[in-house]
Amino acid sequence: MSSARVPVIPGYHGDNQDVDFLLKEADKIGYPILIKAVSGGGGKGMRIVNNAKEFEEALNSAKREATSSFGDDRVLIEKYLKRPRHIEFQVFADKHGNAVHLFERDCSVQRRHQKIIEEAPAPHMPEDLRNRMGVAAVNAAKAVGYVGAGTVEFILNCDDNSFYFMEMNTRLQVEHPITEMITGQDLVEWQLRVAAGETLPLRQEDLKINGHAFEARVYAENPRRGFLPGTGKLVHLSPPTSSPTVRVETGVRQGDEVSVFYDPMIAKLVVWDKDRKSALRKLGLSLAEYRIVGLTTNIDFLNGLSTHPAFIAGEVETGFIPRYHNDLFKPAEPPSPKALAMAVLAAIAEEKQEINHTADKRGSVNDPWTTLTGWRAGYGEARTFKFVNAIKEDSEEKGQEYTVHVTYVSQDNYKMRITHTAKGEHDVTLNVNGKVGPNGDVQARIGARLYPSSSHGNSRLGSWCWW
């Protein structure tokens, strides 16, 4: 890269892996430094070191993880920038010596050194800087005689807009759809044409940026527990409606299992609009429409992140999440009494579907209990549901529990007494009128307001589960 006039961050990239030698190189570079696995990716085998005392332990830790992940314990050492942005350029080259870039993507907002939300083009990107980085990306591809789709990744210093080559990924990446959205090009088609020996479909001067696009990665993970990957069954999966400007790219269906054997990504939510503000609004609406029941996801976290004032202003960098940690991880609000009442009705609706399915098989009539107009024999005139916080990620939320006592009043009418059992707060009593449609849909009137919902309407209870 250096010989190709691509800016390279100061560091040691040689073969000598002796601990004392690497320590001396780190001292020359100046702390903080980054130890990085030569064969690394996805943040594995990376350690930030702030001083010489931390070096050896961090080096050994990085080498162990590199060996475990890649079978290669070699590392390199680079200067660590405190406020960097992660900017990558999509490049394409053919077998005839032609190479172009399709502009940049900003992938700065990350957790565990892994991307969580990307956008194209990058916010606050001066045109002259875009041109210089684009030329450097094309030079990087040409320097290795590259053919096909690739991504050249740069570190951009927020303080002075200096940029440095980080790595090149020799493939299409997870976030390539946002490049397709702003350029109107099908990059998979480009890949096939180049592989077939054709020239690139367009020249650099033919490529233009149109509008703005975001990609949010929907994961089965728990953001409040350090983004710990999760597993479980996708009991209910209802993504936002797809359109030419909203893409949901996924490899799972309702009923599938998210296991420990594969990446916990559920989907890529990609949106486009005429400008960044409009695209951000569309992203928020699409996230609000997303419904997943059965396991913990990062959807609510993505919603909070994308509506944070600093993100809206485009003030992104790789330390965004730790910088605004207190804003992004405010104490979880307990569910409202009305949400708990809807959850109870949804639970009854699920029972209705299950019993009706059994009844249809046996040829028997529906039980009065399943129609929400009376109680099943043996249950008496009341039932009790308990809700408990299943996450309990901090001391304030430990042991939070609600009890809902449901009493049948008359056809479709119930009295629900809700008690916060952990704090011993006074009861809240609601008069609820609830009906279940033929598909298990719930329609409730609580007070003077009508609340329509699906039988999975309790997905907005987040970490709360009932029995």
Reported as a single tens digit per residue, the pLDDT across 72-93 is 999 999 999 888 999 999 999 9
What are phi and psi for residue 452, nearest 5 degrees?
A: -80, 145
Residues forming the active site: 171
pLDDT at 386: 85
**pLDDT over threshold 90, residue 278:** yes
Q: 83 with 159: CB under 8 angstroms? A: yes
pLDDT confidence of residue 111: 92
> Residue 390's pLDDT band (boundaries 50, 70, 90)?
low
Using DSSP, state whether 29 is helix, strand or coil: helix
| pLDDT at 62 > cutoff 60 | yes
Q: Rounded to the nearest 5 degrees, what angle is found at the Cα of 315, between the Cα atoms of 184 and 226?
A: 95
Q: Domains of the chain (ranges plus CATH)? A: 11-79 (3.30.1490.20), 84-328 (3.30.470.20), 337-466 (no CATH)
pTM of the shown model: 0.79
Q: How far apart are CA 213 and CA 42, in angstroms?
A: 23
If pLDDT is split at 50, 70 and 90, which confidence band does 370 have? very low
Q: Which residues contact 211 (CB under 8 A, 6 or more apart)?
A: 181, 182, 272, 273, 274, 275, 279
The answer to which of 46-50, 88-92, 357-361, 421-425 has the lowest mean pLDDT is 421-425
% of the chain at pLDDT higher than 90: 64
On the question of pLDDT at 391 being above 80, the answer is no
pLDDT, position 424: 53
> What average pLDDT does this structure show over 13-36?
95
- pLDDT computed for residue 437 by the predictor: 65
For residue 20 the two structure tokens come to: 């004392």
Separation CA 113–CA 319 (nearest Å) = 10
pLDDT for residue 422: 55
Phi-psi region of 211 (alpha: psi -120 to 50; beta: other; left: phi over 0): left
**Cis previous bond, 32, omega within 30:** yes
With a cut of 80, say whether residue 355 has pLDDT above it.
no
Task: Give me the mean pLDDT over the 266-292 stretch.
Answer: 97
- Segment among 197-201, 229-233, 320-324, 361-365 with least mean pLDDT: 361-365
Residue 438 has pLDDT above 70, yes or no: no
Task: Please answer whether residues 212 and 182 qualify as being in contact, where contact means their C-beta atoms are separated by less than 8 angstroms.
Answer: yes
Q: What is the pLDDT of residue 459?
A: 43
Q: pLDDT tens, 138-193?
A: 999 999 999 999 999 999 999 899 999 989 999 999 999 999 999 999 999 999 99
Q: From CA 69, how far away is CA 43, in angstroms rounded?
A: 11
CB under 8 Å, gap of 24 or more: what pairs does 415-423 form? 416/340, 416/341, 416/344, 418/337, 418/340, 418/341, 420/334, 421/386
Helix (H), strand (E), coil (C) string for 229-279: ECCEECCEEECCCCECCEEEEECCCCCCEECCCCCCEEEEEEEEECCHHHH
What's the pLDDT band for 398 if we cut at 50, 70, 90?
low
Min mean pLDDT across 48-52, 226-230, 297-301, 349-353 is at 349-353
Per-residue pLDDT band at 379 (split at 50, 70, 90): very low
